[in-house]
Structure 1
């Protein structure tokens, strides 16, 4: 077994802290921190995933209210040992070109587009952690016959957990976190105009 590079060893017994990510220039792009452990996105990104995230960013940017911004692949400092990197966020934070992370109270919506290597984290681990941090809206986008299906969750403030608010195919229409209307089938260019199989 080969020796790990020095930078991969945590600086303390408790593991890594959120601020450590900014001091790890050797870490691969899209490195996340989950429970003090570094999580690397090692698999190549599928074109479907990248195109879908880009198209969602474009669709949401056209609909966000003034004072909100849509970004992709930026980390959220949930607490000192958790700094995940969702595929997409909607934030009320002012634009700062040097920003490397957001606080949970600056984020109104998190979107994760599920990949085979991220499925467990997106559906369970991040679902719980984003809720515990108080992020009000969480969407998990799954692939079904090359088309997106969006599982929408809203934070129940009385329990501090997400509740299912709907599963959307073809069209996503929601009044929160702002009025949203997205033609889901038009998001993936290769499938534009193609009908869903019933």
Structure 2
């Protein structure tokens, strides 16, 4: 049995996107519009405004990475940059453009207008929000892996700050991520450390709100 929708139903007002967005069209968008959307397979995905806790966590994680990136550069790792919510081009056709919460990448040639692409990225971090569980743990997990990004972390929060970090490393033979383990804030044993993509010590106090 089929039930007709009321004439004022919001479902009847939904209009399908008429055509896929191309890379050229995306690059021509005003910055304030581009920052509010992501493009997945050419289709616009609107990004919800992050909560204050989400923004704070992103800033704390970026500060942590930047401190270790500077140390890595001093030891000969080359030029590294850390950013929040910056455009990351994963694919041109169909266009796939994401804005990771935090990203560590090799420095770009800004004078030449070089665009941030997957081959520059060393580590991407996404912070799970109530409405982003599927995107962060399934969709982006597959997209970042297929794009060849070597390391992916998923951070989770509570009212006090970052509580856990799931770590994934790329298997280049299959272009799938392997789960390396999960750091938990309350685990015994001191601040956890990683050596790749650069040496990083996770000091949980630095990730408090």
Q: TM-score, normalised by structure 2?
A: 0.77
Correspondence 1:116 to 2:130: yes
Q: Name which one, 1 or 2, has greater alpha-carbon Rg.
A: 2
| Aligned partner of residue 167 in structure 2, secondary structure | strand
> 2:103·2:121 contact (CA, 8 Å) conserved in 1?
yes
1:1-198 aligned at under 5 Å gives the runs: 9-10=17-18, 12=19, 15-25=20-30, 27=33, 29-42=35-48, 44-64=49-69, 65-66=72-73, 67-80=79-92, 81-94=95-108, 96=110, 101-144=115-158, 146-148=160-162, 149-170=164-185, 171-189=191-209
Show the counterpart of 2:188: none
Aligned residues: 183
CA distance in 2, matches of 1:159, 1:79: 18
Task: Name the Cα RMSD after superposition.
Answer: 2.6
Tell me the alpha carbon deviations over residues 39-82 of structure 1, each in whole angstroms, 9 at most, x when there is no partner.
1113x421211111101111111101221111111121111221
Seen in structure 2, the aligned counterparts of structure 1 residues 32 and 51 have a Cα distance that, compared at 3 Å, is same
- Structure in which a larger fraction of residues adopt helix: 2
CA distance in 1, matches of 2:158, 2:192: 15
> 2:68·2:199 contact (CA, 8 Å) conserved in 1?
yes
Gaps of at least 5 residues in structure 1 are 190-198
CA distance in 1, matches of 2:41, 2:50: 24
> 1:156·1:162 contact (CA, 8 Å) conserved in 2?
yes
Tell which deviates more after alignment, 31-40 or 138-147.
Answer: 138-147
| Aligned partner of residue 97 in structure 2, secondary structure | coil
CA distance in 1, matches of 2:113, 2:154: 25
| Aligned partner of residue 154 in structure 1, secondary structure | strand
